[in-house]
Chains A and B, each alone.
Chain A
Amino acid sequence: MSSDQTRDDPITERRLGRGDFLKLGALTAGTGILAACGADDAPEPSGAGGTTGAAEPAEEHPPIEQEQGNLEVFEWAGYEYPAYGGEDGVLKPYIDQRGKPKFTFLTSDDQALGRVRAGYRPDIVHPCVDYTGNWVEMGVVQPWDTSLLTNFADLEEPLVTGGQIDGQQYFIPADWGFSSPLYRSDHVEPDGEESWALFYDDRYEGKISWWDSPLENFVIWGYVNGIEDPWEMTDEQLDEARDFLMSKKHLCRNFWSSQTDLDADIAAGNIWIAYAWAGSYVAARDAGLDVVYSEPKEGRLGWNCGFVLGAETENFRHAHEFVDIWSSVESAEWIINNYAYGHANTSVDLAKVPEDYVSVFHLDNPEARQEPNAHYARPVTTERRAAYAQRWDEVKAA
């Protein structure tokens, strides 16, 4: 490979040297052979699109009393006991019976993937659905036995199907929500129709905060510029987006990575416009600020997170009990009322939920969070993710 090529296209060219092609070929062939050998003894998957489909019958796992019970959950901050549900809340029944799980904290899907890749082995992880493929690909997770989850039938159908790979339920959907521009309406007046382009509005120099995440800022640029699939942009499109973001980054006060810091900055008046989740809307509203959770014409972004099960867990049944409690209607009511996020359990009585949550987050209207009204995060291959990430790092370093 010539150095000229390297300069033209650092990512792809570097990745696919001749040697790499050979290795890739060998690997593919190897996998094929393995798959062929394994096909005879592997249990038949319950068919593509099948609803439950466990990896292996539950009988193979010892009864719960024989398990170690030292459940370890790799969670987002705010979802641990007692923050989630309160001292006597949602998680209490599990804790009374099985003891308090050990919670460790992840700060992003990529970081979580990296830590597990580096050898960390929790029993349960709480990633988002668009990363399920990456977890399965890495071979560190196993499918859930949905027959052990009493609340499984109450979970929303499209979200459940979204968590299946080859007919296996690798991912149990739990929380979902939007990502959209949040702005202080006492200082900000959008120019015309509501749009993500508010992030690039020169009038608000020094008052904007983008989320520090490798993908989203490119995806937003993609939707603003009418790119057909912003989750799968070409290197040329990414380069163009990178140059644009570099030229606009001076408008930002910071790139936020901690929601508590962002909420404090919005309240303190350091930030007027930000990429935000529902939690920031609630924090600002509770602080008595005039804020709008925008409905951009390009559509909000959406996310759905849930649980994957460690491939080597020695707490198979504990993990199922824990996730079953998480999937309960009590859990759903709590998360909606306290964080204003949605929950996969659809049997919630919306009359018990603050009115503005229902209207702002369309809790009563599943269509509002489907294409083309909103865009759920889509799976991105590890290789493409790296292409986005590399350019985002360049934007930040420039």
Chain B
Amino acid sequence: MTFTPFRVALNHSLPVMLGYIPLGMAFGVLFQSLGYAWWLAPVSGIMIYAGSAQFLAVGLLASGAGLVEAFLATLVINVRHVFYGLTLINRYSVSGWRRWYMIFGLTDETYAVVTHNAVPTEQRQSYYFSVTILNHLAWITGCALGAGLQSLFSFNSEGFEFSMLALFLVLLIDRLRQLQHVPYALYAVAVVVVSWWVLPGQFLLLSLLGILMISMLGYRREVSA
């Protein structure tokens, strides 16, 4: 059977896209509360494309924060992408503007899709690019729908944010079905629990560091075996 990167990417990205649209709508609705034109919500989706950072942007704009504060806050909130990037250096080997777009368009969910699915080497770059752009388009669509609908009919978006949790659960279940390294998964759970116990407010970064260290040590062990 012929491997069509875009079609396969669409198939794999569909759960993410279905999660991004309601979440983007929640952002669009929230953004409208600032009183700006509705179309600026999808513009922010195009230019920032980071869910948590965009929700943060609403708070920053409401409080009158400056550009430096916005830059630093975004840098800190997305610092986990450093760890994602480390594992993608060799994967994102395409040259030109597509590479830069793929780096910009990396999100938690896009990372989960591109690292989870095995694709033929020669089709990888097209596949990664397709996943990135499909997810981005879904996010922009959600932002536009939320802000546009809110500008027409004011409605309560309470509960929309649950779509993100549901999305992660779908991705996790899919991942668990094909789990190969059970001990590492258990170590990761243990690291998260310990991090939560040690630093409840900042557990994400600490647990990412711990999981990265375990992964690297495990990788070295497998290479030297």
Tell whether A pairs with B.
no
Binding site for B on A (CB under 8 A): none
Binding site for A on B (CB under 8 A): none
